[in-house]
Amino acid sequence: MGAIYILWLREVKRYLRSRAQVVASLGQPLMYLVALGFGLGPVFRASGNGSYLQFVAPGVVGMAVLFTSMFAGIGLLWDRQFGFLKETLVAPVPRISIVLGKTLGGITVALIQGVLVIVISLIAGFRPASWLALLNGFVFMLLIALVFGGLGTAIGSRLQDMQGFQLVMNFLVMPIFFLSGALFPLDHLPKALAAVTDLDPLSYGIDGLRGALIGRAHYGFRIDLWVLCLVAVALLSLGSYLFSKIEI
C-alpha cells in the first residue's frame, strides 16, 4: 500500500505543481464551451433542441476527463525516456502496486480536471437539473477516468518512443471523442455512424453524464453504467497485464 500511495501522490503533485499546465489544459474546454456553446446556440435552438450550452457542457466535461486520463497513462513514455520507469521497476515492490499507484494518480488528476471544467461551465451559464445531479455526474466522470486510464496504461506499456504518441492522438483519442456524441445528439443518426458510436465507450460515458446532469439520455442510466463498468474492468485488467510484461 505504501508504494501505491507514493506513486499516486507523485502523479497528483506533478500535476498541481505545474500551474501553467493546469491553465493550459483548461484552454481547449473553454474554447469548445464558448465557440460552440454560444456560436451554435441559435442553430440548435432553432431546430427545437433547446440550449446548446446545456447540451454540450457534459460533453466538454467528458472530453477533459478523457484527455487527462489517457495522457496520464501514456505518460509512461516520459517515465521511460527519463529513466524513472526503470528505477521504479527495479524497486522491491510488486508491479501491480506500481501500475495501481500510477493509474489511480492519473484518475485523480482527471477528476480534478473534470471538476474544474464543471466550474467553468457553471460560470458560462450551464445549469444542472439539480445540485444532487452533480454527484451523480461525478460517478460517470470516475467511470470515464477508469476506462481511459486503463486504456492509456495499456497503450503506454506497449509504445517504445514518442513518435507513436501522435498516432494515438490522431487515430484513437480524437475519433473516440468526436464519435462519442459529445458535440451532437445520438438520435436519428445514419445507421453506419450509429453503429460506430455504439462501439465507442465514451458514448456511454457522455450519455451517462448528460443524463445525470440535465436528464437527457440516449441509452439510459443502467446501460451506460453497466457498459462503463464492464469496459473499465476489461481495460484496467489489460493495462495491468501489459505493464507487468514491460522489460527493463
Q: Which of 3-17, 145-159, 174-188 has the lowest mean pLDDT?
A: 3-17
Residue 223 has pLDDT above 80, yes or no: yes
R_g of the chain computed on alpha carbons: 18
Residue 105 has pLDDT above 70, yes or no: yes
Count of structural domains, the chain: 1
Provide, rounded to the nearest whole percent, the portion of the chain with pLDDT above 70: 85
Tell me how far apart the alpha carbons of residues 201 and 141 are, in angstroms, rounded to a whole number.
13
Write down the pLDDT at residue 38.
78
Residue 195, exposed/middle/buried by CB under 10 A (0-12, 13-18, 19+)?
Answer: exposed
Q: Which domain, by its residues, includes 158? A: 2-244
Model pTM score: 0.91
Write down the pLDDT at residue 141.
95
pLDDT in tens, 131-169: 888 898 999 999 999 999 889 888 888 877 767 777 777
